[in-house]
A and B are shown apart, each in its own frame.
Chain A
């Protein structure tokens, strides 16, 4: 008897829930057709191994939106952004982009933060004719990801070449590589090995790790047996501090050469003195007036230091605003307007797109870590 009633009650709750869900959907659709605001989507890892990037980018976006809306909005309309957490999982990024485009009817998507995520959602964006502007996907494959895919950071093909050239010119000849086994990590590993060997250097061994790895000891013992001059480490921010620590604990000497994984200062705190002497490539040294004024505003809003990641995401909002300004919201139009941007003075550097939607105006610089501070290195 009791279970019978229980079942009927569940049925009632379900019906109510479905009804409410539909009401919300229809109401949402209506409010959209009234065209109150301009809606962007953001997809990035707000939790998980690359969360420090994703959260920094979300904050950069929030700051830009607040500024634009405070100054009267875009074409007289307020911008609102829907933030989706990809947890650095390409599958979650795909569900997120479908939700943003089909349900939320966004007119452009900022994201995904990582290369793997961007490649996973590029197809959907192209088919739906919605611009996908990634702040930081740097994998070489993103170049050919389609007409609607843009990125505001330079390609890794370039980053790896800069790193290889730098370390070779400093006289290092025998290297080892430890990389995260995904599109970003393998992209950098391959490009680095190719250009370093091309210069005449030798890669003694390359070791992979799954994203999120915290135990590198076995890989490191293997590397130690080759005694390389340096180790190149395209690893994610949450893998890097523990990697450095295990390098010191296993008493491995040799220069550590990083990629843009060190561009978030938060990880320097966790890594402490074990990060001393690390040299890495950073997409465009964020200095200059635009960056200074951005970082001041950022710090007063979030009580945290600005970083390259937050600056470039901040720029993405302004780039989209620039493309949409005084015009309609169709994806096709936004796309062709973005291709016309050649020389935008952003907080993260000068941004101009080539025919593939790649940034060609930013240069990687070499930075050395010294007691938690960045020291630019002349190369």
Chain B
């Protein structure tokens, strides 16, 4: 049973990590907590619903296009809610992203409706397979694999490629980065796009596993944000670690302490970590 609890923790933890990465990267580059990030996650899932269920396209092109749509949504968000307020108080883009989050949720509610929807085409549930006594559906396995894979890929991209280096340079010191010829506006836009892509992947995977609704981004956004802070905001490995920690903590907590506290456990853990390590587990020293 412990193995099953740990697996459950890894499934939700993987999704939290993907969301946390967007928070952490956007914070790194723009010193902004993007409160509409949960809506990018929800938006990706709804784009998939639109392509796959409403328009009836095949699963591969629906997934690909929905992920791209998530990236575009991230870039659009940067254009509308971040770039026009560059240079003003840091509180301004904070408020505009809250506004964007409300707007996106309302727009999806109007376009579709409020009822939860299943992303499965013909069946109402997936047949699980068993390994070592653990029941897991294909998409749940995929969630773990894809989240770990994407995070490793992203680490490589940031370390080795030109764009990755430009992102890191901009995050470190925006002014100096622009002095050496980096188009920091473009880099910011790309960062939002990466955040949107990751969130959309998480949204599609979780949505396929657990149904979708316009409100799915709220709690997921909070959890992703908590994961980013827990791991050390600004740090990519920190976001990954934070997500997995929260996924494991809440599932093991629900199993062995009480399921009534499942959602509080992650926040309690955050408070504890911040008391002893105020910059998060892997946070850099100032």
Contact = CB atoms under 8 A, between A and B. Distances in A.
Nearest to B128: A249
B260 A208 contact: yes
Given A47-B214, A209-B259, A214-B211, A238 B115 contact: yes
Given A221-B255, A266-B115, A238 B213 contact: yes
Given A55-B114, A218-B259, A270-B117, A225 B1 contact: yes
Contact of A208 (B126, B127, B258): B258
A218 B124 contact: no
A124 interface: no
A251 B127 CA distance: 9
A225 to B, nearest CB: 6
Interface stretch (B4-12, B64-72, B159-167, B238-246): B4-12
Interface residues of A, number: 41
Interface string A259-286: 0000000110111111100000000000
Contact of B118 (A52, A213, A248, A270): A270
Nearest to B134: A221
B135 interface: yes
B109 interface: yes
A214 B115 contact: no
A246 B206 CA distance: 13
Contacts of B219: 212
B210 A214 contact: yes
A245 B115 contact: no
B118 A272 contact: yes
Interface residues of B, number: 39
A212 B255 contact: no
B285 to A, nearest CB: 36
A271 B123 CA distance: 10
B211 A47 contact: no
B125 interface: yes
Nearest to A245: B125
B124 A274 contact: yes
Interface in B97-127: 105, 109, 114-118, 120, 123-127
Nearest to A210: B263
A241 B126 contact: no
Contacts of B216: 214
Contact of A238 (B116, B218, B259, B262): B116
A250 interface: yes
A48 interface: yes
Nearest to B213: A238
Contacts of B218: 212
A249 B126 contact: yes
A215 interface: yes
B166 to A, nearest CB: 32
A227 interface: no
Top 7 nearest A-B pairs (CB, nearest first) are A272-B124, A208-B260, A51-B114, A248-B125, A214-B210, A245-B125, A207-B259
Given A245-B118, A246-B125, 13 more contacts: A47-B109, A47-B215, A52-B114, A181-B260, A208-B260, A217-B251, A221-B1, A222-B1, A237-B115, A238-B115, A245-B210, A273-B123, A274-B124
Interface of A: 47-49, 51-52, 55, 181, 207-210, 212-215, 217-219, 221-222, 225, 237-238, 241-242, 244-246, 248-251, 266-267, 269-275
